[in-house]
Amino acid sequence: MTSLQNQHQQTQDEWMTRAKAVLPGGGFGNFDPSVIISHGKGSRIWTEDGAEYIDYLIGSGPMLLGHGHPEVLEAVIDQLPKGMTFFANNPRGIELADAICEAVACCEQVRFVASGGEADMYALRLARAYTGKNKILKFEGGYHGMSAEAQMSLAPVALKNFPEPVPDSAGIPKGVADEMLIAPYNDLAAAASLMAEHDDIAAIIVEPLQRIIPPVAGFLEGLRQLCDQHHVLLIFDEIVTGFRLAYGGAQDYYGVTPDICTLGKIIGGGFPLAALGASAEIMRHFDKDLVGQDHWLMQLGTLSGNPVAAVAGLKTMEILRRPGAYDQLRGIGKTLQEMQTDALTKAGIAHQLVGDETLFDIIFTDQPCVDYRSTKHQRPEQAALYNQVLRQHGVLKSPSKLYPSLAITEADLSQTEAAVEAAVKALVDQS
């Protein structure tokens, strides 16, 4: 028996033992490390111990078409023998840039990177280069990757008074906090007050749909007006919402155009690829010949514009452009929402459905969820049990969100509904 064959015959427990020996915390730092996924196909994934799940995690968002979509696979297989990466321009990357610029309102030009966190980091740097100002206003609970700025008040345990930032990670220099202002999401008055008090703000960065929290009426429009009034750039972090809420992203869906946006997940079709985009005037800071050494923003990456990721993203976007794709996705999402809220309401369990039909979750509270501090489970043990029973019945999701995909079938919906009924019964029995 070869070493490779032996590896494939190891049990889930053996894989976990190996992981704990070589990985901090026994995992990659992402999802539950006890779940070791062997493979996925369509709407399903299988773990190394043979368990099968309907996948509502979908790689944290990129697998909007499901796993192993045959047309995406065909495009990738066609590209592989032509070259996997070049560290140079290639036609497929240029085609993808063109497709993004055609689809996304704020993008006249884009620059590719390998991850959403990189895209957000460069977006902040670009805003500082363009405006000549340093401070960044972000919203408490907003996720913008792993840079030092992004790790300010992402998930603060200590709730300090606004606008004081709270670092969420060790190893961040104290000086980073001096350049960050924190406001509550959906509070336009708070943002306006900070803008009036500080004349050195380069940009506001915001998830148009913050994690799962939708913007209240007028909030995004108000941010756009504030930025115009104070000559500040508006950055939409569309790593999650780009090509999910609509083909043109959240800026199309909500009708508000930012100055800069970041994109990821779906545009790589399951491969590592992200981008930031803006007007040609703003993006000129990536071109030393146009702006000179002092205003040039250096950016390079070994896998930027990778052709395999580019063809996967191009094919994914082509499929999403087909008539009815987003109606189908929203129909699936609405069915998943209604089966949960109907069952919980019938059982008399206090809850809020928070999010969009394309991305949402159940929060066990009787209070409206409008920002980071209000979007909390009043009884966290209910959420833990609910998700635990769903998994026991073959439904895999993040503890904090559910991603519908176009691969979900009627059989999947029926199984999910049965799992929801079992989870609700468990909550009733627990109370």
247 is catalytic: no
Q: How confident is the model at residue 160 (pLDDT cuts 50, 70, 90)?
A: very high
pTM of the entire predicted model: 0.95
pLDDT of amino acid 2: 40
pLDDT of amino acid 431: 82
Q: How confident is the model at residue 9 (pLDDT cuts 50, 70, 90)?
A: low
Inter-residue contact 236 to 246 (CB < 8 Å): no
Q: For residue range 187-208, list pLDDT tens digits in order.
A: 999 999 999 999 999 999 999 9
pLDDT of amino acid 8: 52
Q: Which is the catalytic residue, given 55, 120, 237, 361?
A: 237
24: preceding bond cis by omega (within 30 degrees): no
What mean pLDDT comes out for the span 355-373? 98
372 is catalytic: no
pLDDT of amino acid 11: 84
Q: Which is the catalytic residue, given 133, 135, 138, 265?
A: 265
Rounded Cα–Cα distance for residues 340 and 398 (Å): 16
For the chain, list the domains and their CATH numbers: 71-320 (3.40.640.10)
What mean pLDDT comes out for the span 85-94? 96
**β-pairing verdict for 201-206 and 352-356:** unpaired
Q: For residue range 260-305, list pLDDT tens digits in order.
A: 999 999 999 999 999 999 999 999 999 999 999 999 999 999 999 9
pLDDT of amino acid 98: 98
265 is catalytic: yes
Is the per-residue pLDDT at 211 higher than 80? yes
Portion of the chain with pLDDT greater than 90, in percent: 96
What mean pLDDT comes out for the span 47-58? 95
Q: Which is the catalytic residue, given 53, 56, 130, 143?
A: 143
